[in-house]
Amino acid sequence: MSDLNELLQHRFFGNPLSDWAIALCAFLVTFTVLPLVRSYVARQARHQAGESHSVPVELVLRLIPRTSRLFLWIVAIKAAESLLELPASVHRALTVLVLVVVWLQIGLWAMATVNFLLDRQRRRRGEQDTGFVSSLAVINFIAGLGIWTLVALLALDNLGINITALVAGLGIGGIAIALAVQTILGDLLASLSITLDKPFTVGDNVVVDDCSGQVEHIGIKSTRIRSVNGEQIIMSNADLLRSRLRNFGRMEERRGLMTIGIAYETPREKIEQVAGIIEEVIRTRPGIRFERCHFKELGAYALNFEAVFFVLQPKLDALLEAQHHINLGILRAFESRGIELAYPTQKLLLEQAGRPAAA
C-alpha cells in the first residue's frame, strides 16, 4: 500500500500521478457522457419530428445535434485541465484553443437558430408562398455573413487583440473593395430588395423589355427566367430592378378585347342586333365576365364593333380557350341571322364620257 501511495504521489510534469489519474477520469467521463446526451436528444428529436412542442423546446432539440464533436473534446480537455497545474505556455495555448472552438460552436448554434426560425416561418406560411421560399437562400446568406463576421471579431477581442484598429482598417478596406466589386454588391443589394419587396417570385410569368417567361430561380447575383421559347434567360438582379417589369403572375383575371367588322351592306335593323348577339354569346360562356360591347366606328371597309370581357382565371390558356369558343359562337349566330363579316375591299370609281361609272 505504501508503494502505491508513493507511486501516486510521484510528480509528473509538475503534478502528482494521482491528479493525472483524476484528470483522465474527468476527461473520459465528460467525453463519454456529453456525446451520449447529444445522441439521445438527436434520436428523440427524430422520433418526435411530427409532434408539436413549444418554441424553446424545439430550439433546444435543434441546437443539441448541431453541437460538434470538436467542442465536446475541448470541454473534456478543459475539465481535465482545471484539475492540473500546467505551465503558463501550455495553459495559454489551451486557453486560445478553447476560445477559438467555443466561438466556432457559438457561430454554429447561431446559424442553427436562424435556420430554425426561417424553417418555422416557412412551415407557417406554407410552400404556396413562393416569394418567401425563394428568398430563404438570400436571407440565410446575409445572416450567415453577419454572424460569422461578428463571431470572428468577438473571438479576436477575447484573445486580447485590439479590434478597434482592425474594424477601422476593415472599414477603409471595405470601401476599397466595394468600389472594386460595386457591380456584385449592386446585385447583392438588388437581391435583398427583391427578397423584401417581392416584385416577383419563383413561378411568376414576367415580361422584361423584350424577354418573357417564367421565373425559375432568384439567386444572390442573378435571376433565371425560362423563356416561352424554351431557352433560359439569366439577368442580373440590378438590371431587373432598373427595368420596367410586367408581372403576369399577380393577375387575378385576364382581359379579352375583340374587334369585329360587319359589312357595310348589312341592313340597319340587323346592325342594331349585333351588339346584343355578341353579348349573348359571351355571357353564355362559363367562367367569363362580360364588360361591354359597342358600335365603335365606321371603318374604311367595315362597321367595327368592340367587345371587352374578362376571363376569371389568370392563365393565358384560359383566355385563348375562351376566345376560341366565343369566335365560333359569334360565327354561328351571325350565320343563322344572315349577318356577313367584312373583309378588306376597295371600290374604284371611273369617269367615262362625262358621266361616272363604278367598277
Domains belonging to the chain, first-starting first, are 2-183 (no CATH), 198-250 (2.30.30.60), 254-337 (3.30.70.100)
At 82 the three-state DSSP class reads: coil
Q: Return mean pLDDT, the chain.
A: 77
Cell 497545474, residue located: 85
Indicate the burial class of 160 (C-beta count within 10 angstroms; 0-12, 13-18, 19 or more): exposed
What's the pTM?
0.50
Sign of CA dihedral 150, 152, 157, 163: negative
AA letter at 36? L
Q: What is the 3-state secondary structure (H, E, C) of 243-283?
A: CCEEEHHHCCCEEEEEEEEECCCCCHHHHHHHHHHHHHHHH
Query: Distance (Å, rounded) from C-alpha 251 to C-alpha 350?
Result: 55
At 44 the three-state DSSP class reads: helix
Specify the DSSP class assigned to residue 339: P
Q: 229, 225, 230: which is closest to 248 by C-alpha? A: 225
Helices (H), 126-244: 130-158, 163-180, 182-197, 237-242
Those residues whose C-beta lies under 8 Å from the C-beta of residue 75, and which sit 6 or more positions away, are 30, 34
pLDDT in tens, the chain (359 residues): 444 455 445 555 555 555 666 666 776 776 677 677 767 766 666 666 555 556 676 776 677 777 777 777 777 777 666 666 666 676 677 778 878 888 888 888 888 888 888 777 777 766 555 555 656 666 777 788 788 888 888 887 777 777 676 666 666 655 655 555 556 667 777 777 777 777 888 888 888 888 888 888 887 778 888 988 888 988 888 888 888 888 887 888 889 999 999 998 899 999 999 999 999 999 998 999 999 999 999 988 899 999 999 999 888 888 999 999 999 999 999 999 999 888 887 777 776 655 555 54
Give 206's strand partners. Answer: 213, 247
What DSSP assignment string belongs to 24-43?
HHHHHHHHHHHHHHHHHHHH
Query: Distance (Å, rounded) from C-alpha 264 to C-alpha 72?
Result: 92
Those residues whose C-beta lies under 8 Å from the C-beta of residue 137, and which sit 6 or more positions away, are 219, 220
CA atoms within 13 A on the CB side of 302: 16
Task: Output the CA angle 51-110-194, nearest 5 degrees.
Answer: 90
How confident is the model over 32-52, as pLDDT tens digits? 776 777 677 666 666 665 555
Give me 173's grid cell.
Answer: 478596406
AA letter at 63? L
